[in-house]
Amino acid sequence: MSTAPAAVSVAIGQWAVAASPSKIRTLLGSCVGVILYDRAGRVGGLAHVVLPNSRGAVDHPGKYADTAIPGLIADLGALRGKSAGRLVAKLTGGASMFTLGAASASPSSAIMNIGRTNQEAVEQILSALHIPVIARDLGGATGRHVTLDTATGLVLVRSPGAVEKEL
């Protein structure tokens, strides 16, 4: 009799790492899901990034792109050990969950488009760390259910009213 893989749910502003055979999942709206995977070690992690920059805040490191990504990498490093392979990234989420009446350049428009701001921050950080982004499912106007299978590196994304797809 085989047992089902462990399932780890990632709450908003948190991250989690796991080794094969595990599944890591979350639900995203304007937040960006940063999925890092090491095929050689069959380990992966998912960060549920809420905002692009911590501005020095240290109380909730999983909430911000600039603190969550390094934290996720550190935890993956501890899990990967000496058999570490190269990390690759997949990104999802970053939806525009709120609409503005007319096009606006006001400060509130940046807040209303936090999904895009999160996407840009995550992409910049991963580029600076030389972690290639091999797949993206970003933007749009709806949330997503996301699941990483650490045994395969497969990421499944399901949006309301849409067919589940592989990322």
Active site positions, annotated: 31
Q: Pairing mode, if any, of strands 155-158 and 165-166? A: antiparallel
| Among the listed residues 56, 40, 27, the one whose alpha carbon sits nearest the alpha carbon of residue 144 | 27
Give exposure, 19-35, as e/b (b: 16+ Cβ within 10 Å). bbebbbbbbbbbbbbbb
End-to-end CA distance of the chain: 30
